[in-house]
Structure 1
Amino acid sequence: MPIRRVPAVFTALLTALLAVALAGCAPISPSEGGGGASTAPVAREDLDPEATIRYADAVGPSRFDPHRSTNGQDIRYLAPVYDRLVHLSSAGDPIPGLATAWEWQDDGLALRMTLRQNVRFHDGAPFDSAAVKANIEREKTVEGSSVAADLASVTSVETPDPNTVVLRLSKRNSMLLGLLSHRAGAMVSPTAFDNPDLDLAPVGTGMYKVTSYRPNDVIVYERNPDYWNRDVVGAKSIELRILPDEVTRMNALRTGEVDVALLSGRLAGEASGLPGMTVHRDTTLTYLVLYLNRARSEFGDPRVRQALNYAVNRQAIAQGIYFGAAQPTVQPFPPDYYAYNPAYPGDFYPHDPAKARQLLAEAGLPNGFEFEMLVTALSTYTQAGEAIQQMLAEVGIKANIRNVEAAQTADVYYRQQQGDALVSQWGGRPDPSMTIDLQFTSTGFSNPGRVTTPRLEELQRTALDTLDPDKRRDTIHQEVGELVDQAFQVPIVLDESVIATNQRIAGFELLVTGQVDFQKLAVRKQQ
């Protein structure tokens, strides 16, 4: 196949977008607003517990059963309903959830957890050690489980008394607390296990119950009057509207139809100019990436994967598509996060089409090749996919785009293993070993081709076996080096979360994983 150059019209468009981003949309600092609501703490007596929060997001959950949900970002919708055994601080540290304390025993081969007392599920069933045991056994065996691999090292669950569980492990697993703060730690009422409507009517112990759910339209959460944490105020209800188009979300915010809206860098400046509006911009553990099924197309050759990395102009995408609300990256973790390896900065693979063509020739592909590239059907990802398509075309690679509905992306690419590659966002995980395990090991759910390297597998075993934080961090840094050197995928940018809130909203806080802390989100009383 002949080498194809980027059409002049695309080059001109990207250049124009870059100029607009640099000249007209100067970066907004985190939580910078347009003279609107302050992010300072609000006294409890100034909050309205009877209010409704109206929230606009781009996509809904793949399903409400946390043990069979196929999208890691579903945790955003699951967390209000399902408390986990372990919760997270805003910095990502494990803190008490349904478990109030824990300790490693038997040289790290057992995790003993003390459970919170007097907690009930939404259907009235008691939460106790028997419920934890039932949940973990379900997660390991239920058909379609997406968390069975997470708990593979858990060989048994002991229940010495109603308020204590002991998880016995076949081998040490340093990421277990992180796993138990995510979907694997979400507790479902055992009386609802066989409910065929569980995907539409979840039953947890969380601060909110789902009282109405119309997929791809709206989710209504109502406060749980019997919630165990009496210290949180929250709101009486949350109406989460699913609006895939960000301009529609922006208009709903402008007209007062919603109080909170997920936006993008392109609209951040406009939103910050609205009276009473605050724009929150936070770098989290999410990133835009071109995933590669390394068992498909020509992606088994690391030289081809490196060529893809050199072909992509990350800075142009960060500025031209994200309008500065992103930074180039070649690894899964952001600077200032303990798993980040500083030896691999965002320009480690500079934009170098000549180098890309050289590597393709060395791999026996001087005329390039073609592959099917799935793209999550949301505007930002669609734009990024088209930009990547044109950049790859410049070095002779033809990427045939197929758009996939956002909520179904993970199921189509990971479970059904359709497509050779995917342009989408990786949802942050509470522990770096989870990200590495899922995406890059031979058993990872998010590694559909199961292709890895012996060195990565050995380093991952070492990281999981190491409970000392400093030694574990050093091993994770080595893993990051292996991922980047072998070009397992094509990380593009660390995309900032851009969320706008109007002056009614108080207590907005984003966890490092990218999810809103709904226990702190509240509404100010009207003056």
Structure 2
Amino acid sequence: MTDRSKTHGPHEQGLLARLPQLRRRQFLAGAAALSALGAAGVPLRAGAAPSGHLRVVANANPSSLDPATGGAGSDHVFLYCFYDTLVDWDFATLAPQPGLAESWEFTDPQTLVFTLRQGVTFHDGTPFDAAAVAFNLQRNRTAELSNIKNDLANVETVEATGEHEVTLKLSAPDTALPLILSDRAGMMVSPAALGNDPEAKVDRAPVGTGPWTFTAWTDGDKVSGAANPDHWREGIPKVESIELQIIPERATALRAAQSGQADIAYQISEQQKVLIEKMPTLELAFGPTLYVYQLYLNASRGPLSDPRIRKAITMAVDREDWVKATQAGVGEPAWMNLPQAHWAWSEEAAKYTQHDLDRARALMKEAGVEGGFELDFRGYTDQASVQRSEVILQQLGKLNITGRFTNGTIAETSSRFFSAEKAGDVLLSAWTGRPDPSLTYSLLYSESSYYNPGRVAPPEGFEAAMADSRATADQAERAAALGRAQALVMDAALTIPLSIRYEVDALSTKVQGYSANLLGKPKFLHVGLG
């Protein structure tokens, strides 16, 4: 198997040029084979009863197990265990595929009709039907507690137009909506579990239609589930129980897999890729993702409210050195919130994030802060995050920007930074990617978005460009519109993208059917133990 860790194919080759790679005996070589396997995974014993206990090492305690109320990108791996989505996506290309909705159709540019899968039940035994979908979508778009209102901003009305048919009327054309419904907004919660109250929560007691039913959550320790015997996918899940052990420190996570205490440890530090390849008891899953390390800025106050200062910061970052220092060269510089092979990559947007220390210093002088200032930095406690924080302080020190990092868990630190508390000026974290790029840019930069910590308005023209990107299904036209939006926000430096991480997962040799995916958020429904 060719190691593509140093391969960065040109934009024209598209995403298939850099598919996730899996060094396994069962791997079927070639891009066509991987694309065909995609969401189906590597098949095991079709229709066989689930057997075995799958132990997975996760990198963070969930912020919530309710898809509407959580706020951490690391939640998805947990949520996928207990919830299915209306629309699914192909592991290799992120192309939309049927999920709980077996089909969908735009009957006109502002009407989207879903035909739902029949015979599906929630874990509590209540039926999955159009009424349940309408309840969930209304809750996600209007409930006060919902953190995902922006995902469904273009949805004007939701109506159950049949027992298994749901019709969405849109305020504007939105071709991205099917893929948006493959994310949190499309995860279906049992209305009965919520007491049919959209303002109720299932933060700690998820009830979906997913491959496993929830059994327990011990904070900072583990989340577990038992096989859903009535799952609508034949032969899914492959194991009778799953346990996600929470170990933030990735070196410790790798040791757990090496010692046999865990079967899968995902998102291992890139520096440890070479170690995994040398371990006879482990196999490597590896490939590019949409996961972007970046600095989130609260641009509503202090020096960061000045766009000249934010631009100076983004120009002061040497992304090539960052990848070498923090990822052992396994990854690529991030010139925007997408990798270079993505179909929506923009050469124009990339111009605004090039390393230029002289220009950065000139902007600081122009802003009247050439002597520098201090910022309140926030980050996480694991060793790799601490190392990244040291590199950032060293690079920004060249502009006389100083400060110290206050570190905590992912869930707690992210919640305090993005919520009304607005704790900190800068958060060194990541954007974990979304299946459709318009959702990424909407969630990061729309004025009311949870992930816009200062709730500052994006540059003029951004919302129009976003609307244009969703008004057509033509990929070239969408890329042009998204390119305009990306150039505007990169010029405004509302976030500072740093680098693209690659998936580095350690697998026990007993693991069968595991595939890394382009989103970089593992799903385990096709995984079995040999």
What TM-score results when the alignment is normalised by the length of structure 1? 0.89
Equivalent residue, structure 2, for 1:105:
107
Paired residues of 1:415 and 1:448 also in contact (CA < 8 A) = yes
1:93 positional shift: 1.0
Paired residues of 1:332 and 1:491 also in contact (CA < 8 A) = yes
Paired residues of 1:122 and 1:204 also in contact (CA < 8 A) = yes
Equivalent residue, structure 2, for 1:176:
177
Structure 1 stretch 83-92 or stretch 504-513: which is displaced more?
504-513
Distance across 1 between alignment mates of 2:449 and 2:176? 14
* Residues 399 and 520 of structure 1: CA distance in aligned 2, closer, same or farther (over 3 Å): same
Distance across 2 between alignment mates of 1:342 and 1:278? 37
Instruction: Read off the aligned partner of 1:167 and give its amino acid letter.
Output: L
Paired residues of 1:156 and 1:168 also in contact (CA < 8 A) = yes
Tell me the alpha carbon deviations over residues 2-54 of structure 1, each in whole angstroms, 9 at most, x when there is no partner.
xxxxxxxxxxxxxxxxxxxxxxxx96996465xx6543446527988311111
SS at match of 1:283: strand
* Residues 400 and 297 of structure 1: CA distance in aligned 2, closer, same or farther (over 3 Å): farther
Map 1:194-213; keep pairs closer than 5 Å: 194=195, 198-213=202-217
What TM-score results when the alignment is normalised by the length of structure 2? 0.88
Paired residues of 1:505 and 1:521 also in contact (CA < 8 A) = yes
Equivalent residue, structure 1, for 2:72:
71
Alignment partner of 1:50 is 2:51: yes
SS at match of 2:461: helix
1:281 positional shift: 2.0
* Residues 477 and 350 of structure 1: CA distance in aligned 2, closer, same or farther (over 3 Å): closer
Alignment partner of 1:480 is 2:480: no
Paired residues of 2:378 and 2:428 also in contact (CA < 8 A) = yes
Alignment partner of 1:330 is 2:335: yes
Paired residues of 1:39 and 1:506 also in contact (CA < 8 A) = no
Paired residues of 1:47 and 1:522 also in contact (CA < 8 A) = no
Instruction: Read off the aligned partner of 1:295 and give its amino acid letter.
Output: S
Alignment partner of 1:379 is 2:383: yes
Equivalent residue, structure 1, for 2:35:
none
SS at match of 1:118: coil
Tell me the alpha carbon deviations over residues 105-154 of structure 1, each in whole angstroms, 9 at most, x when there is no partner.
23x21110000001000000000001111112222333321112222322
Instruction: Read off the aligned partner of 2:413 and give its amino acid letter.
Output: T
Aligned-residue sequence identity (percent) comes to: 32
Equivalent residue, structure 1, for 2:412:
408
Q: Say which of 15, 22, 27 aligns to 1:39.
A: 27
Paired residues of 1:39 and 1:507 also in contact (CA < 8 A) = no
Map 1:302-451; keep pairs closer than 5 Å: 302-344=307-349, 349-416=353-420, 417-451=422-456
Tell me the alpha carbon deviations over residues 90-117 of structure 1, each in whole angstroms, 9 at most, x when there is no partner.
11111111100101123x2111000000
SS at match of 1:143: coil
Equivalent residue, structure 1, for 2:61:
60
Instruction: Read off the aligned partner of 2:184 and give its amino acid letter.
Output: R
Distance across 1 between alignment mates of 2:295 and 2:229? 44
1:444 positional shift: 2.1
Equivalent residue, structure 2, for 1:10:
none
Alignment partner of 1:252 is 2:262: no
Tell me the alpha carbon deviations over residues 369-418 of structure 1, each in whole angstroms, 9 at most, x when there is no partner.
22211113332222111210121112111133221321123321111322
Paired residues of 2:60 and 2:74 also in contact (CA < 8 A) = no
1:329 positional shift: 1.3
Instruction: Read off the aligned partner of 1:143 and give its amino acid letter.
Output: E
Distance across 2 between alignment mates of 1:320 and 1:47? 46
Equivalent residue, structure 2, for 1:239:
243
Structure 1 stretch 36-45 or stretch 119-128: which is displaced more?
36-45
Distance across 2 between alignment mates of 1:337 and 1:350? 19
Equivalent residue, structure 2, for 1:89:
90
1:348 positional shift: 6.3
Q: Say which of 494, 509, 512 aligns to 2:515.
A: 509
Paired residues of 2:258 and 2:282 also in contact (CA < 8 A) = no
> Which blocks of at least 5 consecutive residues in structure 2 are unaligned?
8-17, 29-41
Structure 1 stretch 267-276 or stretch 462-471: which is displaced more?
462-471
Equivalent residue, structure 2, for 1:120:
121
1:484 positional shift: 2.3
* Residues 322 and 437 of structure 1: CA distance in aligned 2, closer, same or farther (over 3 Å): same
SS at match of 1:286: strand
Paired residues of 1:37 and 1:505 also in contact (CA < 8 A) = no
CA RMSD of aligned residues (A): 2.3
* Residues 398 and 306 of structure 1: CA distance in aligned 2, closer, same or farther (over 3 Å): same
1:313 positional shift: 2.2
Distance across 1 between alignment mates of 2:173 and 2:73? 24
